[in-house]
Amino acid sequence: MRLEEAAKYAADLLHSLPKKSKVRVIGHVDADGIASASIVAISLARAGYRF
C-alpha cells in the first residue's frame, strides 16, 4: 500500500465515525512521538472529534 492510499484509507475510516466518538491518540515519549501525537490531536480537534 502506498502512502497516499494509506492516508486516504485512514481519512475514510475517521470520517466514518460519528463526531461524538472518542478517538484514542497513542504517541511515544520522545521528540518525534510527542510532535506527531500533537499534530494528530490538533487535526482531530479541528475536525470536531474528541480524543
> pLDDT (tens digit, 9 = 90+) per residue, 7-18?
999 999 999 999
The pTM assigned to this predicted structure is 0.76
Per-residue pLDDT at 33: 96
Could you tell me the pLDDT band of residue 26, with boundaries at 50, 70 and 90? Answer: very high
Phi/psi for 21 (5° steps) reads -70, 145
For residue 50, list its beta bridge partners.
22
Q: What angle do CA 49, 35, 33 make, to 5 degrees?
A: 100
Name 51's Cβ contacts closer than 8 Å, sequence gap at least 6: 22, 23, 24, 25, 41, 44, 45
Locate the domains of the chain by residue range.
18-51
Rounded CA separation 19/49 (Å): 5
Rounded CA separation 33/15 (Å): 24
